[in-house]
Chains A and B, each alone.
Chain A
Amino acid sequence: MIGGLNGSGKTNLLDAIHYLSFGKSYFTATDSTNVRYGQSFLRVEGSYDEPSTKVAVKLGRGRKKQLEWNGSTYEKLIEHVGKIPLMMVAPDDSALVKGPSEGRRRLFNMALSQLKRDYLLALLRYNKILKQRNALLKQHDSSRPPEEALLLSYDAALSKEAAFIFEERKQLCADIEEHFHFYHQAITGGKEKVALAYKSSLQEEPLASSLLRERSREIILQRTTQGVHKDELQFTIEEHKLKRSGSQGQQKSYLLALKLALHRWIFKFTEQRPLLLLDDLFDKLDSERVKNLLRLLMQDDFGQVFITDTQSDRLKLLGDELHLEYRLLIIEEGKCKSFDQEIFKP
């Protein structure tokens, strides 16, 4: 448990842990913004017990980012993804509900790529083909359409990767459904009826045929309108869209249940408990739901959990009340001011 005032560096600490698992920040895609102002490089180091290893990331201006596993540098960053599985929950996640479908697909990708290298590689190939296909469509228009044989070449390559990605996503949704409902009930006390649905054009027909059908429209719009990059993950509450009908707290509970289900899913297949990072525990949740959540984490043995809150005494009270096994760290101005030497055991 990590306590500290606003701006003291609690989230920064969690993000550093995230950095070591994914080689990037949870919050931004631009690496350079992670380097402290006025400094020329960043370095994050972490020691792990299970698996017993040391991981380090270094990033200097104008230099390639490097990731080390026990002192040896990876040739490619993607080789590391999934070795230290992790699931993060942050107040920013509300964008997953309210924002565009891209964020929800990224949630899929984050879980699947930690578990399956094949999925990550297929996704990278898909995006590369898509980029080429879109470039081709951009360079032509309806008065001078691209050559059909060339479009068909991209269609074939795209369909092959899309079919694989679609199957994996569909399977993931089916796999997590039961746990998702169980966790959601545990957090909310069973007060809300929720559902999770995966929507993809590939459910209707293979990508190659929908691309063929939409040919003239795509030539006019000059971009690829069909494919798994348009997939949607529908969140509903009481049969209405969660985005519109759910309160902030209901949305947060929904996302928590979803992420816990993904956590469990990764554990089931890797037999390695992902680190669970809960940034700003009390964000949007009432104290009843917070307690339900913590009880659930203990009962179902979620492994190591990092929790942040602005009020350290509140954390301590909770820990004692629920008989948690915990250690409290207090962060002040980016440094750890105090921490319990011993893990507190009830």
Chain B
Amino acid sequence: MDFPSKLIGDAVTEFSRLPGIGKKTALRLVLHLLNKPVEEAQSLGNAVVRLREDVQYCIDCFSICEAERCSICSNVGRNQDLICVVESIRELIAIENTKQYHGLYHVLGGVISPVDGIGPEQLKVDELIERVKAKEVKEVLMAISPTMEGDTTIFYISKRLESHPAKITTIARGVSFGGELEYVDEMTLARSIATRLPYENYLVKR
């Protein structure tokens, strides 16, 4: 794609490097910014620069924050006995948005997959083990994708915590809310039947 101005061209190139953004979308964004007051573009630019320069990782849970410790870890109102293990900050945000969880988090930074060169050393596993032991955590909740790699990671962490009294739990797996049973894939349905629950368990306190 050719552009009448090198300035536009540079901006389009930068935007199109973002995930999910092609050349055309990038051009639309650039032209949009040109049509808006200059302050708007400045605040966008500043936000991006500050994001990269000021971002820190929480020393406890490795979530993203501005201070040494994230707002969740420094909130004494949260249940300190419960740690929820997630792959990335995306899952943390999703779980936070449910407002159903009041414990702490631990961001692993991925799942174990030797094929992709990711072993426990590349993840924050040792930090998790240390944290569970030091803080005498009572329950470790694994909120990790139900893939083969995810399952291995859960098994591995539970193995490492074998000698520690902390209870290991995983999020429930099965039929999703509002879904029609006939459209559920066979494997999920089979598992949902195998791991069925007494009905009173469904009457969750809100």
Contact = CB atoms under 8 A, between A and B. Distances in A.
Nearest to A79: B186
Interface of A: 117, 121, 125, 128-129, 131-133, 135-136, 138-139, 147, 149-150, 152-154, 156-157
A132 B149 contact: yes
B156 interface: yes
A133 B119 CA distance: 11
Contacts of B149: 132
Contacts of A157: 148, 151-152, 155
Given A139-B114, A147-B120, A150-B112, A132 B156 contact: no
Given A129-B148, A150-B120, 4 more contacts: A129-B152, A132-B148, A150-B119, A157-B155
A132 B153 CA distance: 12
Contact of B114 (A121, A136, A152, A156): A136
B155 A156 contact: yes
Contact of B148 (A125, A135, A136): A125
Contacts of B112: 150, 153
Nearest to A117: B186
Contacts of B115: 131-132, 135
The 10 lowest CB-CB distance pairs between A and B, nearest first, are: A135-B114, A136-B114, A153-B155, A153-B156, A149-B159, A135-B115, A153-B152, A128-B148, A132-B114, A150-B156
Interface of B: 112-115, 117, 119-120, 148-149, 151-152, 155-156, 159-160, 186-187
A153 B156 CA distance: 5
A154 to B, nearest CB: 6
Nearest to B155: A153
Nearest to A154: B152
Contacts of A135: 114-115
Nearest to B161: A149
A139 B148 contact: no
Contacts of B186: 117
A113 to B, nearest CB: 15
A139 B149 CA distance: 17
B177 to A, nearest CB: 22
Contacts of A128: 148
A253 B33 CA distance: 77
B146 to A, nearest CB: 12
Given A121-B187, A125-B148, A136 B119 contact: yes
Nearest to B117: A139
Contact of B159 (A121, A125, A132, A153): A153
A125 B155 CA distance: 16
A97 B206 CA distance: 65
Contacts of A153: 112, 152, 155-156, 159
Contacts of B114: 132-133, 135-136, 138-139
Nearest to B160: A149
A150 B159 CA distance: 8
Contacts of A154: 152
13 contacts: A121-B187, A132-B148, A133-B114, A135-B114, A136-B114, A138-B114, A149-B160, A150-B112, A150-B119, A150-B156, A153-B159, A154-B152, A157-B152
A308 to B, nearest CB: 37
A125 B120 CA distance: 21
Contacts of B151: 157
B157 to A, nearest CB: 9
A66 B187 CA distance: 22
Contacts of B152: 129, 132, 153-154, 157
A139 B119 contact: yes
A128 to B, nearest CB: 5
Nearest to A148: B159
Nearest to B153: A153
Contacts of B159: 149, 152-153
A24 B67 CA distance: 56
A129 B149 CA distance: 8
A58 to B, nearest CB: 24
A132 B156 CA distance: 14
A229 to B, nearest CB: 16
Contacts of A147: 119-120
Nearest to B112: A150
Contacts of B160: 149
Nearest to B148: A128
A115 to B, nearest CB: 15
A249 to B, nearest CB: 44
A178 B117 CA distance: 49
A122 to B, nearest CB: 11
A129 B159 CA distance: 18
A157 B149 CA distance: 10
Nearest to A133: B114
Contacts of A129: 148, 152
